[in-house]
Amino acid sequence: MDREKVIVIDFGGQYNQLVARRVRECNVYCEIYSYRTDLSEIRRMNPKGIILTGGPNSCYEADSPTCSAELFSLGVPVLGLCYGAQLMMHVLGGKVEKAPVGEYGKTDVCVDTASPLFAGVSEHTVCWMSHFDYISHPAEGFRSCAHTADCPTAAAEDRERGLYAIQFHPEVLHTQEGTKMLYNFVRNICGCAGTWRMDSFVEQTVRELREKIGNGKVLLALSGGVDSSVAAGLLSRAVGRQLTCVFVDHGLLRKDEGDEVEAVFGAEGTFDLNFIRVNAQERYYRKLAGVSEPEQKRKIIGEEFIRVFEEEAKKIGAVDFLAQGTIYPDVVESGLGGESAVIKSHHNVGGLPEYVDFKEIVEPLRNLFKDEVRKAGLELGIPEHLVFRQPFPGPGLGIRIIGDVTPEKVRIVQEADAIYRDEIAKAGLDRSIGQYFAALTNMRSVGVMGDERTYDYAVALRAVNTVDFMTAEAAEIPFSVLQTVMSRIINEVKGVNRVMYDLTSKPPGTIEFE
């Protein structure tokens, strides 16, 4: 796509994706690249601006990630953040040393509001610091434009060359006016017009899909999740009934979810496409009978999906394109984007399915973050209940049921989860919690209901707040809400006599149970 953009060069910082998201919130398109990216490739991209991320190293050590001094002579504004700021100084002849006093957490910073970077920012502002090195002598041509009690150069600028270095992290929410600082850089200093919007993205992507696909046939595995649903919506608008969506209902979806997906994309829905629903519940239950080991369950569910999808693909015959709901974090985390990638095998990136007869992959959401995918979904007219659906693992309830999977256990966790989600929505918390769901433990305990003793299952409630799903903290749900959920689950869900709330953070725990 031919559009103005700012690029983020990643030096191993934990906030690389967050930096790019904050830039996009300024309506400026942004992509992440490793510091190993060749300078000629950066020139070819013709960015309007460059941002250098933080990182865990000391820039003065011999084997630390670095960059060429030429990067700062491209005639493009550059903003260095934390390690990126120190590296800019180090490469250009300044001095970076171990700080007499490290700074961590919220810190009062005094800024020079005459700097274009701090226009409209309070003279005394709170910023998020995380550093044990500091800039002891700025490079020639730079002047300090911010300081703290312990850090004489919390920010430096060479306005003439468009080079800016800040020691703190403007991308995190703890930096109170960080968004304003990034806006100043990308919109005012870099001169970006700010035309990156979802309505224009949808229109442009639909045009490009039509041009690419022509009269070709497209096949998409539709899970009913946000990513595949928005991909289906885009492709439907672009090529209509040249698109076939195969929806495999493995019986491990949330309550009524299969019917909800069919209502949107099936014959009675609003999208023009071929929709095939495969009701494979009994097939999955047979395969999973007596299996309790988590990885074995995942493997069975994944392999059975391939078998079912393969069978349907054979009925359809050869297609020109296989569509996937790959989104930008998938690309980055698969080692194809930034440097701080957690290399993982992802179903949307790598390991192309050899069992489908196709010529080319098409990934209409490849450049979007999750929040942008949701905006695109609303723009396409996909119902809010689907667009804002909670994250859901590929193996579905198979990994939210501890131990073996049975139809009865699936019923229990579906009903408990539906009640939980209903009460969270009634309390107005559904958009503020990162992820929440009910899981069925493998524990049975004695209880008393009426005048009878019971020996039934315990349901665990999970709710976390997270920015990137790499780390998470348990959400603080009001006790009255939890009490209501508990009371409803025990009274309405046969087979449950105990409800627990999981307070575990990530790490040491994971967000999902298995």
The phi-psi region of residue 89 (left if phi > 0; otherwise alpha if psi is between -120 and 50; otherwise beta) is: alpha
- List the catalytic residue out of 169, 192, 333, 415: 169
Residues 187 and 26 sit within 8 Å (Cβ to Cβ):
yes
Tokens of 23: 């830039």
Q: Is the dihedral of CA 84, 56, 24, 474 positive or negative?
A: negative
Which amino acid is residue 33, in one-letter code?
A: Y
Residues 186 and 25 sit within 8 Å (Cβ to Cβ):
no
H or E element in which residue 483 lies: helix 479-492
Residues 94 and 139 sit within 8 Å (Cβ to Cβ):
yes
Residues 236 and 271 sit within 8 Å (Cβ to Cβ):
yes
**Residue 5: Cβ within 10 Å count:** 22
Task: Give the SS3 label for residue 102.
Answer: strand
Q: Give CA–CA dist 418/400, Å, rounded.
A: 14
Which amino acid is residue 450, in one-letter code?
A: G
- List the catalytic residue out of 4, 103, 171, 177: 171
Across 303-405, where does the E strand assignment appear? 321-323, 360-362
Which amino acid is residue 125, in one-letter code?
A: T
Instruction: Confirm whether 169 is a catalytic residue.
Output: yes
- List the catalytic residue out of 26, 30, 59, 82: 82
Contacts of 60 (CB under 8 A, 6+ apart): 90, 96, 97, 133
Tokens of 373: 């995918």
Contacts of 90 (CB under 8 A, 6+ apart): 59, 60, 96
Tokens of 476: 């603080």
Residues 351 and 205 sit within 8 Å (Cβ to Cβ):
no
Instruction: Confirm whether 145 is a catalytic residue.
Output: no
H or E element in which residue 263 lies: helix 257-265
Q: Estimate to the nearest angstrom the gap between the alpha carbon of 18 and the chain centroid.
A: 9
Quick one: 229 exposed, middle or buried, by C-beta within 10 A (0-12, 13-18, 19+)? Answer: buried
Instruction: Confirm whether 30 is a catalytic residue.
Output: no
State the catalytic residues.
82, 169, 171
